Amino acid sequence: MNCVQSNCVLSLYHQTEKMKDQLHISEQVCFPVYVFAKEIINQYRPLLEALELTYPQYLVMLVLWEHKEQTVNQLGEKLKLDSGTLTPLLKRMEHKEFVSRIRSTVDERLVNISLTEKGKALKEKAAFIPGQLMEAMDVTDEDLLLLKNIITKISKK
């Protein structure tokens, strides 16, 4: 084997070793994101239980507090959830009298979701959640803004 072939073999060896290192869990970007997502939801859980909401139900409420009324499809687009996930979730919320589901008279395929008085009143009770969550996470506003911006940038690709 000449010098050129030897360097080529060494280069391939180093590339292979580097690729193996990339398969360590500590080298994965997705793993800390996964752990972080689980931790955030765990931080929300006790705060939301006091309001009789799950995390996905809380997300629905956030959209409705902002936009008043949405179709199931609009909610799905905003929350990145399909109707198979949203429909049972919305039925449970309707049963708790947080939302009303009304089929459109113009297009029967559409179901409009709006807040009930009980759902509207829940907004005031939920106002403390973001502050308590930030306090529990022990991070600065700047850290959270940076994290949100990075996640948003990656999510838009």
User: What is the per-residue pLDDT across 85-98, written as a single tens digit (0 to 9) for each?
Assistant: 999 999 999 999 99
Residue 38 forms beta bridges with which residues? Answer: none
Q: Report how far residue 137's alpha carbon sits from residue 130's, in angstroms, rounded to the nearest whole number.
A: 11
Q: Report how far residue 142's alpha carbon sits from residue 74's, in angstroms, rounded to the nearest whole number.
A: 31
Q: What is the CATH number of the domain that holds 76?
A: 1.10.10.10
Q: Structural domain tally of the chain?
A: 1
Token duo for residue 57: 């139900």
137-143 contact pairs (CB < 8 A, 24+):
137/43
Residue 22 lies in a domain: no
Boundaries of domain holding 37: 32-137
Q: What percent of the chain has pLDDT over 90?
A: 46
Cβ–Cβ < 8 Å for 60, 93: yes
Token duo for residue 92: 């449970």
DSSP H helices, 23-140, are 30-49, 55-67, 72-79, 83-95, 117-126, 129-137
Residue 37 lies in a domain: yes
Residue 40 lies in a domain: yes
User: What is the per-residue pLDDT across 76-132, written as a single tens digit (0 to 9) for each?
Assistant: 999 999 989 999 999 999 999 999 999 888 888 888 999 999 999 999 999 999 888
Residue 65 lies in a domain: yes
Q: How many CB atoms are located within 10 Å of the residue 53 CB?
A: 24
Residue 115 lies in a domain: yes
Beta-sheet pairing, 99-103 with 69-71: unpaired
